[in-house]
């Protein structure tokens, strides 16, 4: 008797399961995104309204649907609930759905046990990436438990799940960290400025652990290009790419630079006397978090660009 494969399950069941699984973990991501930067416990107290602090009932806490049937307002005090919560839950649900779709569309359907292991590992990677992006956009910080933990998990699953392989996983982690550490060292030692942060280096190591050297190079290249485009848009429109001011160090004296973390693409700005120059720090000195763009590149590679990269490399190296 042949083992059960993913092809033996109804597609509707796989898709509903993936969407539900992703949305549930998206709900937990909302907790992490809000509480970790504020140094609050991730497990206590249970979810509650931030306005009246009334605990949220379990049936109102259903991902996406709970926000919809409450009309986007707290049941107790009718204060508005940010639409970001259902957006995050839906986004994680879509991420899980796409990961599952890529598995069920493999040329050879994997055994159910291997398919599930692949799904859980790849979604854990996507979950960590998305969570890093939201936190970094608000704080210029990347939690070590997501970056270093992701690198460890990526190397561990490479022994079980076919694809990258453990040697490529280790090489990717080393390459990812080394590239951005070298940039960090050059900027801080020779240019006397803050550049790539070590948080970004640890994040790229996690990307390399899951995707190998090819994923590292793609995430770095694609992330840099997309980060540059976002910076140009920010400068043209005034759109703020920086963090939530309430999460920065509040002890800074008036007129001083806020505390800078090691996870943003930025540099120390010398004192200027020209008001126009002070208002426009210049393209190379624009402060943006680089983590979200590394995440974007890694997700693009995870969700299909890896095949295009392989085809391109084969074409370029063909005799």
Higher pLDDT, 1 or 139: 139
In the chain, % of residues over pLDDT 90? 43
Which among 48-62, 167-181, 278-292 has the top mean pLDDT? 167-181
What DSSP character marks residue 88?
A: H
d(CA 185, CA 38) in angstroms, rounded, equals 30
Residue-wise pLDDT tens digits, 125-180: 999 999 999 999 988 899 999 999 999 999 999 998 887 889 999 999 999 999 98
- Return mean pLDDT, the chain: 82
How do 264-265 and 288-289 pair as beta strands? Answer: antiparallel
CB 206 within 8 A of CB 154: yes
The pTM (predicted TM-score) of the whole model is: 0.82
* Residues sharing a CB contact under 8 Å with residue 270, sequence separation 6 or more, in sequence order: none
Going by pLDDT thresholds of 50, 70 and 90, the confidence category of residue 60 is confident
pLDDT at 190: 65
Q: Which of 172, 170, 174, 199 is nearest to 184 (CA)?
A: 199
**What angle do the packed helices 144-157 and 112-139 form, to 10 degrees?**
160
Q: Which of 93, 90, 69 is nearest to 81 (CA)?
A: 69
CB 121 within 8 A of CB 161: yes
Residue-wise pLDDT tens digits, 206-248: 999 999 999 999 999 999 999 888 888 877 877 766 665 555 5
Residue-wise pLDDT tens digits, 97-127: 999 999 988 878 888 889 999 999 999 999 9
264, containing H or E segment: strand 264-265
Q: Does position 315 have pLDDT exceeding 90, yes or no?
A: no
d(CA 246, CA 151) in angstroms, rounded, equals 30
Going by pLDDT thresholds of 50, 70 and 90, the confidence category of residue 268 is very low
């Amino acid at each position: 008797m042949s083992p059960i494969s993913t092809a033996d399950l109804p597609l509707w069941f796989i898709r509903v399961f993936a969407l539900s699984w992703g949305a549930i973990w998206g709900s937990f991501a909302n907790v992490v995104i809000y509480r970790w930067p504020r140094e609050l416990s991730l497990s206590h107290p249970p979810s509650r309204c931030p306005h009246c602090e009334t605990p949220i009932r379990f049936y109102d806490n259903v991902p996406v649907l709970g926000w919809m049937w409450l009309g986007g307002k707290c049941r107790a005090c009718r204060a508005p609930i940010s639409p970001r919560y259902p957006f995050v839950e839906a986004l994680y649900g879509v991420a899980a759905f796409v990961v599952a779709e890529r598995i069920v569309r493999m040329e050879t359907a994997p055994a159910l046990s291997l398919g599930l292991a692949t799904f859980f590992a790849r979604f854990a990677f996507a979950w960590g990436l998305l969570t890093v992006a939201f936190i970094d956009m608000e704080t210029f910080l990347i939690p070590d438990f997501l970056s270093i933990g992701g690198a460890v998990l990526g190397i561990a699953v490479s022994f079980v799940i076919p694809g990258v392989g453990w040697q490529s996983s280790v090489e990717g982690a080393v390459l990812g960290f080394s590239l951005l550490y070298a940039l960090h060292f050059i900027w801080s030692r020779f240019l006397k400025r803050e550049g790539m942060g070590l948080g970004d280096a640890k994040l790229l190591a996690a990307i390399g652990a899951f995707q190998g050297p090819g994923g590292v190079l793609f995430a770095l290249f694609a992330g840099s290009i997309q980060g540059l485009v976002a910076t140009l848009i920010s400068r043209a429109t005034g759109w703020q790419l920086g963090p939530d001011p309430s999460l920065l160090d509040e002890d800074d004296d008036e007129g001083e630079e806020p505390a800078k973390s090691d996870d943003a693409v930025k540099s120390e700005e010398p004192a200027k006397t020209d008001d126009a120059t002070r208002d426009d720090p210049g393209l190379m000195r624009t402060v943006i978090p680089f983590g979200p763009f590394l995440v974007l590149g890694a997700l693009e590679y995870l969700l299909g660009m890896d095949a295009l990269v392989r085809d391109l490399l084969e074409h370029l190296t063909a005799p």
